[in-house]
């Protein structure tokens, strides 16, 4: 039986909706485009074209992976973030749109985007935060640090993928330990899920993101304690620190930064209204 492109897309959407996927329409579209090598424009102009059976079978194999709650980004092997496109691997957290709140807050806090700033990203993962900032700061350069060699490899690939390899360097390390350089900006999206809450996370997160990038210890604040203690020695005088935080953690993290001697520089909400980013400034 011949199936048209329109019918194929609607069948994929129905299967994902049945499986309880939050965004079946969007996910089906992305999978159709990927499996069949089509553009969004093609989905409309070729809606009534018949789809060869092997192509349909290839799509439905991907749809079943998504129905089993594998994230679309993992299936495609890459994800868009800010203005860049990032490849993923099993050692990296899949970037979320919420993290763009940190990028936006840092950019707004910088008085001169053309300055030759030095940036540090602790727990860099895919490199998403550092690379998004570098894409907006033409004369800046940066270092990303991650405990995982696999994450460092992914971030290095992503720098090249987005034309930023000359201004971004990545290395393995335990947060900021052993770094002698001082930076104008220090950013991080550390693990912040309380250990007891991991089991209740959506399967897309619990089963596909690395546990190391999720588990923040008993109260979710273990990494922040380390980063807050290290940050005064990593920042230039008057430098900016920006941390992504979990829901309900902003006040505690702001307190940790203040206790380390940083001046408060604002708390910023994501599009869902959650306090998602805490900024602090080093003393001058």
Asked, for residue 77, whether it belongs to a domain, the answer is no
Mean pLDDT, rounded, for 185-192: 97
Domain identity same for 108 and 37: no
> Which CATH number covers residue 236?
3.40.50.150
Domain identity same for 36 and 106: no
Q: How much of the chain is helix, strand and coil, in % rounded to 5?
A: 45, 20, 35
Confirm or deny that 191 is annotated as ligand binding: yes
CA distance linking residue 244 with residue 42, whole number of Å: 38
Domain identity same for 54 and 109: no
Is it the case that residue 1 has pLDDT exceeding 70?
A: no
Tokens linked to 52: 């060869």
Mean pLDDT, rounded, for 107-124: 97
Asked, for residue 74, whether it belongs to a domain, the answer is no
Mean pLDDT, rounded, for 239-255: 97
CA distance linking residue 269 with residue 284, whole number of Å: 27
Q: Are 144 and 170 in contact (CB under 8 A)?
A: yes
Asked, for residue 80, whether it belongs to a domain, the answer is no
Domain identity same for 162 and 251: yes
Q: How far is CA 10 from CA 27, 36, 37, in A?
A: 11, 15, 17
Domain identity same for 91 and 64: no
Q: Are 193 and 221 in contact (CB under 8 A)?
A: no
Which of 246, 231, 245 has the alpha carbon at shortest distance from 280? Answer: 231
What is the model's pLDDT at position 211? 86
Domain identity same for 41 and 116: no
Domain identity same for 155 and 20: no
Mean pLDDT, rounded, for 40-62: 93
DSSP 127-139: SHHHHHHHHH-TT
pTM: 0.90
- What pLDDT digit, counting tens, does each position of 258-277 carry? 999 999 999 999 999 999 99
Contacts of 42 (CB under 8 A, 6+ apart): 5, 33
Mean pLDDT, rounded, for 33-46: 92
Domain identity same for 95 and 125: yes
Asked, for residue 174, whether it belongs to a domain, the answer is yes
Is it the case that residue 215 has pLDDT exceeding 90?
A: no
Asked, for residue 220, whether it belongs to a domain, the answer is yes
> Which CATH number covers residue 30?
1.10.8
Domain identity same for 152 and 252: yes
Average pLDDT, the chain: 95
When pLDDT is cut at 50, 70 and 90, the band that residue 284 belongs to is confident
Instruction: Tell me which residue has tokens 């335990």.
Output: 174
What is the model's pLDDT at position 60? 93
Print burial letters for 54-80: b (CB count within 10 Å at least 16), e (below 16).
ebbebbbebbeebbebbbbbbbbeebe
Confirm or deny that 175 is annotated as ligand binding: yes
Confirm or deny that 124 is annotated as ligand binding: yes
Domain count along the chain: 2
What is the model's pLDDT at position 240? 98
Confirm or deny that 127 is annotated as ligand binding: yes
Asked, for residue 255, whether it belongs to a domain, the answer is yes
Confirm or deny that 190 is annotated as ligand binding: yes
Domain identity same for 252 and 134: yes
DSSP 145: E
Confirm or deny that 146 is annotated as ligand binding: yes
What is the model's pLDDT at position 283? 84
Asked, for residue 191, whether it belongs to a domain, the answer is yes
Q: How far is CA 41 from CA 29, 83, 222, in A?
A: 11, 21, 47
Confirm or deny that 125 is annotated as ligand binding: yes
Asked, for residue 123, whether it belongs to a domain, the answer is yes
Q: Which domain holds residue 60?
A: 3-68
Contacts of 10 (CB under 8 A, 6+ apart): none
Which of 245, 240, 228, 244 has the alpha carbon at shortest distance from 108? Answer: 240
Domain identity same for 114 and 158: yes
Confirm or deny that 156 is annotated as ligand binding: no
Confirm or deny that 116 is annotated as ligand binding: no
Domain identity same for 119 and 213: yes
Mean pLDDT, rounded, for 213-232: 95
DSSP 78-95: EEEETTEEEE--TTSPPP
- What pLDDT digit, counting tens, does each position of 131-166 carry? 999 999 999 999 999 999 999 999 999 999 999 999
């Amino acid at each position: 039986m011949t199936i048209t492109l329109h019918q194929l897309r609607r069948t994929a959407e129905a299967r994902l909706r049945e499986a309880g996927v939050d965004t079946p329409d969007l996910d089906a579209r992305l999978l159709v485009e990927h499996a069949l090598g089509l553009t969004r424009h093609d989905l409309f102009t070729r809606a009534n074209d018949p789809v060869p059976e092997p192509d349909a079978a290839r799509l439905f194999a991907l749809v079943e992976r998504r129905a089993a709650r594998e994230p679309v980004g993992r299936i495609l092997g890459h994800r868009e973030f800010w203005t860049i496109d990032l490849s993923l691997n099993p050692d990296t957290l899949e970037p979320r749109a919420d993290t763009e709140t940190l990028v936006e807050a840092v950019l707004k806090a910088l008085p001169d985007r053309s300055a030759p700033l030095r940036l540090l990203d602790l727990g860099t993962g895919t490199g998403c935060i550092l690379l998004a900032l570098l894409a907006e700061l033409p004369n800046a350069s940066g270092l990303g640090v991650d405990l995982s060699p696999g994450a460092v490899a992914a971030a290095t690939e992503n720098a090249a993928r987005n034309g930023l390899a000359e201004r971004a360097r990545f290395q393995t390390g335990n947060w900021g330990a052993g770094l002698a350089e001082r930076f104008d900006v220090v950013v991080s999206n550390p693990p912040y899920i309380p250990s007891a809450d991991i089991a209740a996370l959506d399967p897309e997160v619990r089963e596909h993101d690395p546990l190391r990038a999720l588990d923040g210890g008993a109260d979710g604040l273990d990494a922040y304690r380390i980063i807050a203690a290290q940050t005064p020695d990593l920042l230039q005088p008057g430098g900016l620190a920006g941390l992504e935080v979990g829901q309900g953690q902003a006040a505690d993290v702001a307190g940790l930064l203040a206790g380390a001697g940083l001046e408060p520089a604002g708390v910023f909400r994501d599009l869902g209204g959650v306090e998602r980013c805490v900024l602090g400034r080093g003393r001058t």
